Amino acid sequence: MEQSYMTIQEADLLEAYLKEVPEVTTVKVSERTSNAVICFNGQVRERILNALADFDYDTTAVSVPEHSGRALQHEYMDQMALRILGRGVSNLFLPSPVRAGISILKSGSFLLRGIRCLLNRQLRVEVLDAASILVSLLRQDYDTAGQVMFLLGIGDLMEEWIHHKSVNDLAAAMALNVDKVWRKLDGGTELLTDIRSVGVGDRIVVRTGNMIPLDGEAVEGDAMVNQASFTGEPLPVHKSTGSYLYAGSVVEEGSLVICVRKESGSGRYDRIVSMIESTEKLKSSAETKASRLADRLVPWTFGAALAAWLTTRDVTRASSILMVDFCCALKLSMPIAVLSAIHEAGNHHISVKGGKFLEPFAQAETMVFDKTGTLTVASPTVKAVIPFGGQDEAEVLRLAACLEEHYPHSVARAVVRSARERDLEHEERHSKVEYVVAHGIASSVDGVRVCIGSHHFIFEDEGCTVPEGEVERLASLPDEFSHLYLAVGGVLAAVLLIEDPMKPEAAQAIQALRAQGISRLVMMTGDNERTARAVAAQVGLDEVYAEVLPEDKAQFIQREHQQGRTVIMIGDGVNDSPALSASDVGVAINSGAAIAREIADITISENDLMSLVTLRQLSEALMNRINQNYHIIIGFNSLLIGLGVLGILPPAVTALAHNTSTIAIGLKSMTNLLPEARFSPDAASPDKHKQ
């Protein structure tokens, strides 16, 4: 298809459409050149060409991101081009007196910033900028003043561009990705419905561990709701009838019936952007140190300039020092390096919610894994249903699916899928469902209590019994499967054997992480001891803790902290939430429970544990780049100051060299930290990661 002109909206639509073609791995659409670069796997060129032929801007139904960042890029690229073009035209065609007048007019904003800092009793980099410009103007060196202001403006624009782009990318990464919701009909029946068909005034049901997909008002129920995605507050808030709920918040405990007040997406993006802008999510400790160091060096720069003037009585030499400082480069390069690393992580399908999480990831010594859905595949299967007490196999599976379908856990999905594959449909006969975190689910069917969950939940918490004469049968169940117990009326009714195969890359990822310097690799799971140890041995973990509760995981992390270790937690379930919150860096699987994704600092793909290896490499490379930037900035600018003091370089040259080096370091900080190859054994060799 040929197209000579493409709008931003058309480019977003075409890119979203091509990304949904199964064989396409990556796609990049350029609206400026009206072309698309498509990468794909296999011999499917004809199929992709046919997909392009079928595409139509007016009729193709595809979900397009609300904020793709394309318009933002256009805006800043145009601003950058106009500034550079304006500077070139000014130098080539305008006479000196006109350029001098322009410099004097432009200096006003820089001088005001410096005066404002002095009035607030702050000696910051803005004062140094104002002083260097003022000295040039007083010496009637208008070209130098104009050059300094131009380069400062370009640096400010670059920093603003990268910052807004990173906020935009981060807000987009925190999108809901909710496709289905439980809609409550007039008769009280719940129907699983596509979210796009839910409108204002409809009622939806949200239970423990689920994300609230739409803004609305609670009309029934009582729950504790985590609103961190847009308020930044980690503690849950109590919500009941009459409370207003925001899309993106998560029900930590309880359930709510919500009357929808806003359609999908309305207002959430802006709330997230506001929250990110008002918190320290984007700032790493390295950035904070760089900013503080930059401001602390300002008095020393003024002192050096004063000393040069007192010893030489040469204004030119003193002003040469004012043209050079460490502050601009430090304040510009560090945030750009961190924000670019976040963007690069996104290219590897890793969503990092802030720069401050990359540094501890590089320094971590302990990594804790959940088992189900984390080390094992996110789609376990029901291999067998073993009925007890004369129960019918189909009926117990139907009953188990009826309870499990309300909860977003991989084992629950396996039970529901197994019932569907056997064409076992059911009606909603049970009453309100109770979800006991890390244990199981309980409800009432026809007035009889029904429970499904772990051995501990069924036999210890609920006090259920085994039908007479079937104790040995229960003990003889195969060990290679995880067991899910169903009890009806206090008596065991069935055991579902769950096959939970390992992720194919799990052992390789564990080996690579150990080579990268992670000294303790631990698995903590609520599963039984037998299954847990088998999994740990298969992937090569150092320690394993079985049949643990959510608080046990969090307490383990606290003990590690007391011993001075930095801890990363990887999980995907509701029961992992306390540990994800307690760790230095919480990593969630993107297919896991909403509350886990909400609390986690980083989200990775469900099918790629090797992304942890990539992220370790990326975070270490970032810290190396930050250290290199420090050395280059301090060394080069010290050289310029020395040459200025000796009178070798005039102020115009030192200003040009300083500002050019600042922009060069900023541009270098924007480049990728990792080569195209995601991981190689050499990169993870123990020698390479010695501290």
DSSP state of 583: S
Q: Which long-range contacts does 229-235 make (Cβ < 8 Å, 24+ apart)?
A: 229/174, 229/272, 229/275, 229/598, 230/268, 230/271, 230/272, 230/274, 230/275, 231/275, 232/275, 232/278, 232/279, 232/281, 234/581, 234/599
* Cβ neighbours of residue 381 closer than 8 Å, sequence gap 6 or more: 414, 417, 418, 498, 499
Q: In what order do the strands lie in the sheet with 448-453?
A: 381-387, 491-499, 482-488, 448-453, 440-445, 434-436
d(CA 244, CA 253) in angstroms, rounded, equals: 17
d(CA 428, CA 297) in angstroms, rounded, equals: 69
Active-site option among 370, 500, 527, 572: 370
Sign of the C-alpha dihedral computed for residues 577, 581, 584 and 588 taken in this order = positive
Q: Examine the residue annotation and report whether 527 is marked as an active-site residue of this protein.
A: no
Length of the chain, in residues: 691
* Cβ neighbours of residue 17 closer than 8 Å, sequence gap 6 or more: 51, 55, 60, 62
Enter the tokens of residue 285. 């400790």
Contact yes or no for 203/257 (Cβ under 8 A): yes
Planar angle of CA 599, 602, 606, nearest 5 degrees = 100
Distances, alpha carbon 232 to alpha carbons 269, 274, 686, in Å: 14, 10, 38
d(CA 36, CA 14) in angstroms, rounded, equals: 9
Q: How many CB atoms lie within 10 A of CB 445?
A: 15
Catalytic residues: 370
